[in-house]
């Protein structure tokens, strides 16, 4: 782990991510796990950083908002990484079925990234497919995969855990 990564992790600790429950571990452990999976996949560092911060603003499924000041996060991880983290948090948080006008109202600050098709059913994966910018779409797909993979790995039990041996 390099000094920059340590600084980012120390920031997450300072805002309480090490104390916030996330499934059967802490939010900090989950965030580090997602970032490590992205590193294993040889994702660029800014995508790894986005993975490290992917749910700090709260998500559809994880409602705790650890940080609210986007500028603080942007100063720490950079503009590209922060935008990805922000979009990941915002994606999937619209109602299940929405009209074009409702989408426009909801995504006024991300309308350059999302295809505003009328009457679509929305979840995070669906919204990612609607993103026009290929680099952003690809990066969010990687983060979404790493997020799911980290949670899947956390559910895997060892023989010792399963059979108490």
120 in a domain, yes or no?
Answer: no
Phi, psi of 86 (to 5 degrees): -65, -45
Number of domains in the chain: 1
Q: Is residue 29 part of a domain?
A: yes
Instruction: Please state, in angstroms and rounded to a whole number, the distance separating the CA atoms of residues 137 and 110.
Output: 13
Q: Quick one: tokens of 16? A: 């309480």
> Does residue 77 sit within a domain?
yes
Q: Is residue 110 part of a domain?
A: no
In a domain, 164, yes or no: no
Model confidence at 17: pLDDT above 80: yes
Whether pLDDT at 22 is above 50: yes
Look up the pTM and report it. 0.75
Does the residue 111 lie in any domain? no
Please indicate whether residue 56 or residue 45 has the higher confidence score (pLDDT). Answer: 45
Query: Which residues fall within 8 angstroms of residue 133, CB to CB, at 6 or more apart?
Result: 112, 113
Whether residue 125 lies inside any domain: the answer is no
What's the domain range around 148?
A: 3-91+134-158
Residue 18 lies in a domain: yes
Tell me: the pLDDT tens digits for 82-128?
999 988 888 876 444 444 444 444 444 544 444 444 444 457 778 88
Q: Express each pLDDT in 59-82 by its tens digit.
A: 666 666 678 889 999 999 999 999
């Amino acid at each position: 782990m390099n000094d920059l990564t340590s600084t980012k992790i120390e920031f997450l600790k300072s805002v309480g991510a090490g104390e916030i429950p996330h499934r059967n571990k802490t939010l900090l452990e989950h965030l580090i796990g997602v970032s490590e999976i992205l590193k294993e996949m040889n994702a660029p560092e800014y995508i790894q950083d986005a993975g490290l911060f992917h749910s700090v603003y709260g998500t559809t499924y994880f409602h705790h908002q650890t940080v609210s000041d986007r500028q603080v996060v942007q100063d720490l991880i950079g503009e590209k990484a922060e935008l990805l983290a922000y979009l990941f948090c915002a994606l999937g948080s619209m109602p299940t079925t929405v009209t074009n006008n409702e989408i426009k109202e909801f995504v006024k600050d991300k309308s350059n990234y999302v295809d505003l098709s009328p009457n679509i059913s929305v979840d995070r994966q669906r919204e990612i497919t609607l993103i026009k910018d290929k680099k952003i779409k690809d990066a969010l797909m990687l983060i979404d995969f790493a997020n799911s993979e980290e949670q899947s790995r956390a559910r895997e039990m060892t023989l010792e855990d399963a059979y108490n041996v």
